């Protein structure tokens, strides 16, 4: 579903990303962990063709991302607030994203119903533009919008950061269910080791731009991860 080969990104003479190979099967969910500056966001931006790598290719399904736009039809993503249109209300924003995937307003309204709890009454019908929402609520809007259009590939950068505890748990449950269905291939980064160990079946550790570890999750994973990061 996702394949990365010889991907290298360089700023000045500093190599910030250098991944020889990474293949992700359909339905797998990958947790990407690493300290600040490890290259997580850079990797996401390369995958979404927002920055140009020095060398290497990224394929989403069968398409090389830099060569065409087809991959956008089945890829949902939320990296940061540059994915929000802050002068729209959340509803308008969801409808807009929906229209990009030929979803009607009523389809989107139906889709949003399942997130009633997650929204906690603070998102819809609040008479606020996205720019006037709190950081946490902005993030909720972005993550839910990433799910619009039945993506086959879902890419989220730090989805748990800035969220309140209830929402973190609800989001985790939701992503786990999504993973169980096996329809969506997920790529999620997080600083919260227990969350990724919980949600993702496979965990990849990035350090200074390179892949240093690739493990399938089991009951000892969290310990392993904690050990790795306290070395």
Partner 1 sequence: MKFIFEHQWKEFFRSSVWQKNLAINIVMALFFVYIAANFIFLSYMAGDILMDLFPGQSPIDNFNKGIIYYFLADIFIRFYMQQSPVVSIAQYLHLPIKKHKILNLVLLRSGLSIFNSSILLLTIPFAFGWVAEYESTSGAVAWLIALVSFNLVNSYLVIYLKKLLMEKPYIVAIFGLSIVLIGILDYYSILILTTYSQLFFTSIIRNEFLALIPVVMLVLTYFGVFKFFKSRAYIENLGTLKKKDAKSTSLEFLEPLAEIGKLIELELKLIWRNKRPKSVTIVSFVFFLYGYMLYPQSTNVFMLIVAGLMITGMFVLNYGQFLFSWESSYFDLLMARNVQIKKYVIGKFYLFSFITFISFLLSLIYIPYGIEIIQVNLAMALFNMGINFWVVMYFSTLNPKKIDLSKSTFFNYQGTSYQQFIIVLPMMGLPVFVFAPFHVLVSQEAGILALAMVGIIGILLKGPLSKIVEQRIITKKYQMASNFRES
End-to-end CA distance of the chain: 33
Per CB under 8 A, contacts with partner 1 among 29-68 are 48-52
| Site for partner 1 contains 82 (CB under 8 A) | yes
Q: How far is the CB of 130 from partner 1 (least distance, A)?
A: 9
C-beta of 91 vs 198, nearer to partner 1: 91
| Site for partner 1 contains 95 (CB under 8 A) | yes
Q: How far is the CB of 128 from partner 1 (least distance, A)?
A: 5
| Site for partner 1 contains 21 (CB under 8 A) | no
| Site for partner 1 contains 129 (CB under 8 A) | yes
C-beta of 89 vs 221, nearer to partner 1: 89
| Site for partner 1 contains 128 (CB under 8 A) | yes
| Site for partner 1 contains 150 (CB under 8 A) | no
Whole-angstrom CA distances from 143 to 127, 174, 177, 200, 206 are 20, 12, 16, 17, 23
HEC assignment per residue over 33-101: ECCCCCCHHHHHHHHCCCCCCCEEEEEECCEECCCCCHHHHHEEEECCHHHCCCCCCHHHHHHHHHHHC
CA distance 231 to 227: 6
| Site for partner 1 contains 14 (CB under 8 A) | no
Q: How far is the CB of 149 from partner 1 (least distance, A)?
A: 7
Q: How far is the CB of 48 from partner 1 (least distance, A)?
A: 4
Given a contact cutoff of 8 angstroms between Cβ atoms, the answer to whether 200 and 175 are in contact is no
| Half-sphere exposure (Cβ direction) of 164: Cα atoms closer than 13 Å | 10
Q: How far is the CB of 101 from partner 1 (least distance, A)?
A: 6
Choose, by CB under 8 A, the member of 23, 100, 150, 176 that binds partner 1.
Answer: 100
| Site for partner 1 contains 107 (CB under 8 A) | no
Burial (CB < 10 A; 0-12, 13-18, 19+), residue 184, is buried
Phi, psi of 16 (to 5 degrees): -100, -15
Binding stretches for partner 1 (CB under 8 A): 48-52, 69, 72-73, 75-77, 79-89, 91-92, 95-97, 99-102, 105, 127-129, 132, 149
């Amino acid at each position: 579903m996702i394949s990365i080969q010889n991907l290298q990104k360089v700023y000045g003479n500093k190599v910030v990303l250098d991944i020889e190979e990474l293949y992700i099967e359909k339905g797998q969910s990958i947790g990407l962990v690493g300290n600040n500056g490890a290259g997580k966001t850079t990797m996401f931006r390369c995958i979404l063709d927002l920055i140009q790598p020095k060398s290497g290719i990224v394929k989403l399904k069968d398409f090389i991302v830099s060569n065409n736009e087809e991959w956008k039809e089945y890829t949902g993503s939320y990296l940061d607030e540059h994915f929000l249109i802050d002068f729209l209300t959340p509803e308008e924003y969801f409808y807009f994203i929906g229209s990009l995937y030929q979803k009607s307003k009523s389809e989107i309204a139906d889709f949003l119903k399942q997130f009633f709890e997650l929204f906690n009454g603070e998102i819809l019908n609040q008479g606020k533009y996205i720019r006037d929402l709190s950081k946490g609520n902005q993030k909720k809007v972005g993550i839910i919008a990433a799910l619009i259009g039945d993506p086959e590939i879902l890419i989220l950068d730090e989805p748990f950061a800035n969220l309140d505890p209830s929402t973190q748990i609800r989001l985790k449950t939701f992503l786990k269910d999504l993973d169980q269905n096996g329809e969506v291939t997920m790529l999620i980064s997080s600083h919260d080791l227990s969350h990724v160990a919980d949600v993702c079946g496979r965990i990849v550790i990035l350090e200074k731009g390179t892949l240093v570890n690739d493990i399938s999750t089991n009951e000892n994973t969290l310990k392993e991860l904690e050990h790795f990061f306290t070395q």
